[in-house]
């Protein structure tokens, strides 16, 4: 508890320094407020996100990572990106009160569920951990980091949440036929993913950046969340033994996750038990941890207020502020964050890593969620900290707003020298990240 307070205090004092700097430059430019810009950008993101689903000429249910077809070619269905996108689309229906929109989301989720089941049935070397499919449903067979075991977990989260929502709306027959039935071998998409996750979380796999085989904080957080959702679904589908088994495995994963705290370095590391792949990630600092905390949030375990999370966040913020010229050129804004400090991938080559939009938005989402939770406190000091966290979140959003294309579109990366958008254009994941960030900000009630 005391440690938590100290960590929050450190977080706040770092924010205050940055915000004092930020005040000067930002106020001079006539521009939309953060809230207005984020709202406008969220509307654009809804359109862009839907455009990425089942694009003309592709199999229904495909979600392209980006419309860009070369350097880099992202015109493919990445299991991870697709699942994060569809999970966000599902959430968007919860926030909408238009039944027409909710019907549309159900129909897109249905296409995605059917396509995902086809993906599972294609015979591949990586089993359900196969990371990428072509837009006609063939498996992508180029050399790649396989398996990536976060994929089936996130797919199970998106479709598992949808299954629960269908059950609550009287859709048991559909769920039983297409999503989840208590049978082994599993023949429905969610059950198959849950079984895969429950039996394979101990296997090493490639990380979300597709570069390192080992055990990963992000992957385990997503696997744990999937199994906890799976347990609830299993109970409702009279799959009692499975519910118990999924809960047990989720608990085992929780224990494993504690090994990612590195007491010497004082932060959570992204990977343990490195086996192969990129070997120049000396710091262990990685936005993958932040994404694991945010996207893997389910029952308060590894909360954003946990001192381990706060320390990791602070370190990420400070390490990235030092390495990218655009951050030094404009220190008035919160720093743009990359994937990890040692990154070399620039989209088409390995000339040096850049800041990423989705990483910078994750920092904003983290601050807003922290603000939301601190603002509930009975203690005036913590409520004051909530205001600081909120402003910090705004400063990260200002950073993205500063580099966005004139038409509001967002590419994967921000050139570290020029500040212009670079690498894959219209990265679908970015639009999901905008929506998550906007929702997180909308929920904050400062007192
Ligand atoms: C493409 C991947 O998407 C990217 O994350 C990675 O850095 C490069 N391949 C190299 O493996
Ligand atoms: C490279 C990123 O590292 C990976 O996380 C992502 O899945 C692919 N690009 C596609 O967007």
Residue 3 in this model has a pLDDT that exceeds 70: no
Residue 26 reports pLDDT greater than 70? no
How much is the pLDDT for 9? 67
285 vs 269: CA distance, rounded Å = 6
Peptide bond before residue 118 is cis, with ω within 30 degrees of 0:
no
Structure confidence by residue, pLDDT tens digits, 160-195: 999 999 999 999 999 999 999 999 999 999 999 999
pLDDT for res 16: 57
Pick from 80, 219, 290, 292 the residue to mutate for probing ligand 2's pocket: most ligand atoms within 8 Å of its CB. Answer: 80
Q: What is the mean pLDDT of the chain?
A: 94
In the numeric block, the tokens 């600092």 are attached to 285
Q: How much is the average pLDDT of 351-356?
A: 96
Instruction: Return the pLDDT at 20.
Output: 44
Name residue 421's beta-bridge partners.
414
Interval 104-150: pLDDT, tens: 999 999 999 999 999 999 988 899 999 999 999 999 999 999 999 99
pLDDT of 253 reads 98
What is the best residue among 207, 219, 412, 431 to mutate for testing ligand 2's pocket, by most ligand atoms within 8 Å of CB?
Answer: 412
Q: Which whole number is the average pLDDT over 23-32?
A: 48
Ligand 1 atom at minimal distance to the Cα of residue 345: 7
> Over the stretch 386-432, which tens digit does the pLDDT of each residue have?
999 999 999 999 999 999 999 999 999 999 999 999 999 999 999 99
- Ligand 2 centroid vs 164 CA: distance in angstroms? 28
The predicted-structure confidence for 194-211, as pLDDT tens digits, reads as follows: 999 999 999 999 999 999
**Cβ-proximal residues to 209 (8 Å cutoff; 6+ apart), any chain:** 288, 339, 340, 345
The mean per-residue pLDDT over the stretch 311-339 comes to 97
pLDDT greater than 80 at residue 12? no
pLDDT by residue (tens digit) across 71-113? 999 999 999 999 999 999 999 999 999 999 999 999 999 999 9
Structure tokens at 371: 């603000």
């Amino acid at each position: 508890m005391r440690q938590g307070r100290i960590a929050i205090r450190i977080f706040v004092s770092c924010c205050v320094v940055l915000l004092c700097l930020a005040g000067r430059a930002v106020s001079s430019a006539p521009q939309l407020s953060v809230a207005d810009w984020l709202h406008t950008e969220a509307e654009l993101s809804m359109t862009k996100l839907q455009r990425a689903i089942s694009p003309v000429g592709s199999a229904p249910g495909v979600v392209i990572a980006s419309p860009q077809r070369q350097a880099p070619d992202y015109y493919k269905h990445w299991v991870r990106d697709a699942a994060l996108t569809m999970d966000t689309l599902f959430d968007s229906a919860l926030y909408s009160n238009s039944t027409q929109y909710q019907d549309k989301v159900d129909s897109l989720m249905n296409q995605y569920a059917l396509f995902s089941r086809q993906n599972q049935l294609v015979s591949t070397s990586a089993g359900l951990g196969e990371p990428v499919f072509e837009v006609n449903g063939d498996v992508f067979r180029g050399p790649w980091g396989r398996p990536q075991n976060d994929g089936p977990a996130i797919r199970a989260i998106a479709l598992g949440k949808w299954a629960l929502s269908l059950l609550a709306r009287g859709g048991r027959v559909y769920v039983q036929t297409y999503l989840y039935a208590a049978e082994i071998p599993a023949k429905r998409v969610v059950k198959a993913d849950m079984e895969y996750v429950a039996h394979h979380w101990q296997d090493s796999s490639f990380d979300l950046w597709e570069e390192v085989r080992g055990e990963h904080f992000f992957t385990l957080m997503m696997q744990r969340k999937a199994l906890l959702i799976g347990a609830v679904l299993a109970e409702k589908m009279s799959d009692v033994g499975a519910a118990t088994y999924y809960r047990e495995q989720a608990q085992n994963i929780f224990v494993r996750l504690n090994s990612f705290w590195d007491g010497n370095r004082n932060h959570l590391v992204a990977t343990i038990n490195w086996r192969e792949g990129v070997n120049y990630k000396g710091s262990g600092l990685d936005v993958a941890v932040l994404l694991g905390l945010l996207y893997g949030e389910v029952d308060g375990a590894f909360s954003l207020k946990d001192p381990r999370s706060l320390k990791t966040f602070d370190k990420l913020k400070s390490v990235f502020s030092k390495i990218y010229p655009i951050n030094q050129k404009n220190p008035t804004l919160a720093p743009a964050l990359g994937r990890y400090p040692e990154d070399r991938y620039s989209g088409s080559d390995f000339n040096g890593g850049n800041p990423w939009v989705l990483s910078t938005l994750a920092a904003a989402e983290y601050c807003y969620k922290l603000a939301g939770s601190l603002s509930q406190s009975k203690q005036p000091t913590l409520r004051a900290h909530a205001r600081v966290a909120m402003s910090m979140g705004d400063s990260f959003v200002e950073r993205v707003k500063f580099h966005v294309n004139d038409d509001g579109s967002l590419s994967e990366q921000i050139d570290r020298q020029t500040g212009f958008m670079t690498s894959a254009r219209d990265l679908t994941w970015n639009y999901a990240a905008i929506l998550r960030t906007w929702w997180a900000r909308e929920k904050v009630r400062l007192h």
